[in-house]
């Protein structure tokens, strides 16, 4: 979640570190810092709360300039310890070892206790400081810098991407990764590390992607990499085609297709540092989130468009799993209707852009009505009006979404909302350890499950032909799948211009059934859940009206095949959290392929805007 950049070069490293941090700002931050080894081998450190710009100002106003050829830098998003100078990275041990860290050391309290007994004095509340002390401690019994890092790492449980320098080894940076990304940049004037290649694009295009458990030793003219067993390995140097500040299509025809296929990675990025082996990191929502979640009495969700549909799914989760009352409302309605807002309400806005005018205004209005509420924004844009207006921010790390029809932003919003559900449930003691672990396990399975589902693209493409001459479609689902049906219908409307409606399947006989005939395809979502038998009866009702049907089911759902019905078995063993996220994927693919057949402007559908900043 945090950003790392570092390097060893024959030039002054400080401007490169600053520039790298600026490139990483999109991931969110509450403080930043850098550590450089001066030419007489002493550590020079600067840290500032707030934007990287504040760190830059801090550097410019110092009497003694921070200059040197080797250094590490970091943007922090507070999880362990409040956002403050003392908690900002890099952390130093005994003026000898400096560390920047991305991830969570789960056993840091244990390590802290034993290190305190060894005489180490702690100057921060972070989990990271134990890393610096562990390396410093192991230096005393090691022959090399590398060996001390290898020994220290063996004592860590959790996830890390690390950049380490030492005043005793002024020519070396050590990088290590497990569970958090880290890339090496091979440059003309030196070698570099970063948590995201974007940070290094101004310097190089040549990258080595470290694998799980790798440790790398970087010197000015040499990079040596060891795998998790300590054996020397060769990792290929790849040339990046990413252009600075530009997102390209790669092998895809449209951004929408690209973004659909990026979902496994977007979800991995959104989960990074937000879960541990078996639990959620509640403080990922904000340093004081746990206290707020414990006391909160109800949740009010506000959003527009696709983000609203994500909120609808969350209502089921929050009430069913976290046992907290939840309301969801369209922002443009909420802002004008003088709502009653009770004390101890957690007011959650969901927005990809963070700029949607109605959502922003609904948030402002809510704060005017009751200034005691806590506000949380789930957003894909670190620097946006809605994040600025909110007390807590949880960033979805979907990356830039260019297609107007939202895809990866939606599924990452669902992941964020699943984490919120779990965090509130755990804070209120409504979710026990076992349930928490099973939610976390389910979230970890998501990227693999999505990849499996994406393999169905060719089958779904064939189905799209059925919509060629259709003017209307009906999407059916029950429970969370009603919200997913709404998202499926919205996607079809947005990019293929076919009128589409979503209905809770149980409501069919109260109106929409009158519309059903051969010209109206019905798309049903049939997960293997407690409502399956009821949904199957609804499918019978539809069938007798002669409609063409498409059913997306779980392998275990075993929907009985009927005439003019196409059943696509998506995957198996889905749970309450995983099912809505996975069933979204075939609906996205279906809309995309229908739009191709209709020959519409997929990425820029008529009359629609990516970000609606006016009423």
Residue 396 touches ligand G6P, criterion: CB under 6 A: no
Residue 351 touches ligand G6P, criterion: CB under 6 A: yes
Residue 505: phi and psi, rounded to 5, are: -55, -35
Query: Is 126 or 351 the residue whose CB approaches ligand G6P more closely?
Result: 351
Which residue minimizes CB distance to ligand G6P?
305
143: left (phi over 0), alpha (psi -120 to 50) or beta: alpha
Residue 357 touches ligand G6P, criterion: CB under 6 A: no
- 3-class state of residue 193 by DSSP: strand
Distance CA 379, CA 377 (A): 6
Distance CA 606, CA 495 (A): 8
Return the range that interacts with ligand G6P (CB under 6 A); candidates 247-255, 300-308, 545-553, 568-576: 300-308
> Do 395 and 379 contact (CB within 8 A), yes or no?
yes
Residue 353 touches ligand G6P, criterion: CB under 6 A: yes
Residue 306 touches ligand G6P, criterion: CB under 6 A: yes
User: Which of 73, 135, 193, 304 is in the footprint of ligand G6P by CB under 6 A?
Assistant: 304
Residue 404 touches ligand G6P, criterion: CB under 6 A: yes
Residue 399 touches ligand G6P, criterion: CB under 6 A: no
| Shortest Å distance, C-beta 474 to ligand G6P | 22
List Cβ neighbours of 77 (8 Å cut-off, separation of 6 or more). 1, 2, 27, 28, 29, 30
| Shortest Å distance, C-beta 347 to ligand G6P | 15
Distance CA 270, CA 398 (A): 7
Residue 359 touches ligand G6P, criterion: CB under 6 A: yes
| Shortest Å distance, C-beta 202 to ligand G6P | 29
Return the range that interacts with ligand G6P (CB under 6 A); candidates 91-99, 112-120, 174-182, 301-309: 301-309
Query: Is 132 or 409 the residue whose CB approaches ligand G6P more closely?
Result: 409
List Cβ neighbours of 106 (8 Å cut-off, separation of 6 or more). 157, 158, 276, 277
Q: Provide the CB-side half-sphere exposure for 532 (13 A, CA).
A: 16
Query: Is 330 or 454 the residue whose CB approaches ligand G6P more closely?
Result: 330
DSSP assignment letter at 168: T
What angle, 0 to 180 degrees and rounded to 10, lies between the N-to-C axes of helices 578-598 and 408-427? 170
Return the range that interacts with ligand G6P (CB under 6 A); candidates 22-30, 73-81, 105-113, 350-358: 350-358
User: Which of 247, 532, 568, 612 is in the footprint of ligand G6P by CB under 6 A?
Assistant: 612
| Shortest Å distance, C-beta 401 to ligand G6P | 8
- The first and second tokens of residue 181, run together, are 């990304």
Query: Is 331 or 594 the residue whose CB approaches ligand G6P more closely?
Result: 331
610 noted as active-site residue: yes
List Cβ neighbours of 462 (8 Å cut-off, separation of 6 or more). none
Active-site residue, from 2, 326, 377, 379: 2
Cβ-based neighbour number of residue 561 at 10 Å: 9
Number of residues that bind ligand G6P (CB under 6 A): 15
Query: Is 197 or 353 the residue whose CB approaches ligand G6P more closely?
Result: 353
Query: Is 305 or 399 the residue whose CB approaches ligand G6P more closely?
Result: 305
Could you give the residue ranges of the DSSP H alpha helices within 41-169?
A: 52-60, 108-117, 129-139, 145-153
The burial class, CB within 10 Å (0-12 / 13-18 / 19+), for 566 is middle
Distance CA 309, CA 318 (A): 14
Residue 302 touches ligand G6P, criterion: CB under 6 A: no
Residue 352 touches ligand G6P, criterion: CB under 6 A: yes
User: Which of 286, 305, 425, 479 is in the footprint of ligand G6P by CB under 6 A?
Assistant: 305
Residue 588 touches ligand G6P, criterion: CB under 6 A: no
Active-site positions read 2, 610
Residues at the site binding ligand G6P, with contacts judged by CB under 6 A: 304-307, 351-353, 356, 359, 404, 406, 608, 610-612
């Amino acid at each position: 979640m945090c950003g790392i950049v570092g390097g060893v070069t024959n030039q002054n490293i400080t401007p490169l570190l600053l520039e790298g941090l600026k490139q990483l700002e999109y991931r969110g931050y509450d403080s930043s810092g850098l550590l450089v080894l001066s030419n007489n081998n002493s550590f020079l450190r600067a840290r500032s709360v707030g934007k990287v710009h504040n760190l830059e100002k801090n550097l410019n106003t110092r009497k003694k300039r921070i200059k040197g050829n080797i250094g590490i830098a970091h943007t922090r998003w507070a999880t362990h310890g409040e956002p403050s100078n003392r908690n900002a990275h890099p952390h130093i041990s005994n003026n000898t070892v400096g560390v920047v860290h991305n991830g969570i050391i789960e056993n840091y309290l244990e390590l802290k206790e034993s290190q305190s007994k060894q005489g180490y004095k702690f100057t921060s509340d972070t989990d990271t400081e134990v890393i610096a002390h562990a390396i410093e401690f192991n230096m005393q019994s090691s022959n090399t810098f590398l060996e001390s890092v290898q020994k220290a790492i063996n004592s860590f449980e959790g996830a890390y991407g690390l950049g380490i320098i030492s005043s005793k080894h002024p020519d070396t940076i050590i990088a290590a990764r497990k569970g958090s990304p880290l890339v090496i940049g091979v440059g003309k004037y030196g070698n570099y590390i970063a948590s995201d290649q974007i940070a290094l694009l101004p310097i190089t295009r040549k990258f080595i992607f470290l694998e799980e458990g790798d440790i790398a030793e970087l010197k000015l003219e040499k990079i040596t990499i060891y795998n998790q067993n300590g054996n020397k390995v060769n990792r290929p140097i790849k040339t990046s085609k990413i252009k600075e500040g530009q997102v390209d299509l790669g092998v895809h025809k449209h951004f929408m297709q690209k973004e659909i296929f990026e979902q496994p990675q977007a979800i991995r990025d959104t989960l990074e540092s937000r879960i541990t082996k078996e639990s959620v990191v509640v403080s990922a929502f904000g340093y004081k989130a746990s206290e707020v979640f414990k006391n909160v009495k109800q949740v009010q969700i506000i959003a527009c468009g696709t983000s609203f549909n994500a909120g609808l799914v969350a209502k089921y989760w929050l009430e069913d799993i976290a046992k907290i009352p939840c309301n969801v409302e369209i922002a443009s309605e909420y802002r004008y209707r003088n709502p009653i807002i009770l004390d101890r309400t957690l007011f959650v806005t969901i927005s990809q852009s963070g700029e949607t005018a109605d959502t922003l205004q609904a948030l402002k209005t809510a704060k005017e009505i009751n200034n005691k509420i806590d506000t949380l924004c789930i957003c894909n844009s670190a620097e946006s009006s809605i994040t600025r207006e909110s007390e807590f921010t949880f960033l979805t790390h979907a990356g830039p979404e260019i297609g107007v029809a939202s895809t990866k932003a939606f599924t990452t919003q669902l992941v964020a909302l699943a984490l919120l559900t779990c965090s509130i449930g755990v804070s209120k003691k409504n979710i026990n350890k076992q349930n928490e672990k099973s939610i976390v396990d389910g979230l970890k399975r998501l990227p693999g499950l999505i990849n499996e589902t994406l393999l169905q693209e060719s089958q779904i493409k064939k189905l799209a032909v059925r919509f060629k001459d259709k003017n209307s479609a009906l999407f059916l689902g029950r429970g969370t799948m009603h919200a997913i049906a709404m998202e499926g219908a919205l996607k079809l409307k947005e990019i293929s211009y076919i009128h589409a409606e979503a209905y809770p399947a149980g409501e069919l006989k109260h109106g929409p059934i009158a519309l059903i005939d051969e010209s109206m395809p019905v798309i049903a979502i049939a997960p293997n859940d407690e409502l399956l038998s009821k949904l199957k009866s609804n499918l019978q009702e539809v069938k007798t009206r002669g409609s063409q049907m498409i059913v997306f089911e779980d392998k275990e759902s075993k929907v009985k095949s009927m005439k003019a019905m196409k059943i696509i078995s998506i995957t198996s063993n889905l749970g309450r959290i995983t099912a809505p996220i996975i069933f979204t994927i075939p609906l996205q693919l279906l809309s995309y392929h229908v739009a191709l057949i209709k020959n519409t402007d997929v990425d820029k559908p008529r009359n629609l805007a990516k970000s609606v900043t006016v009423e």
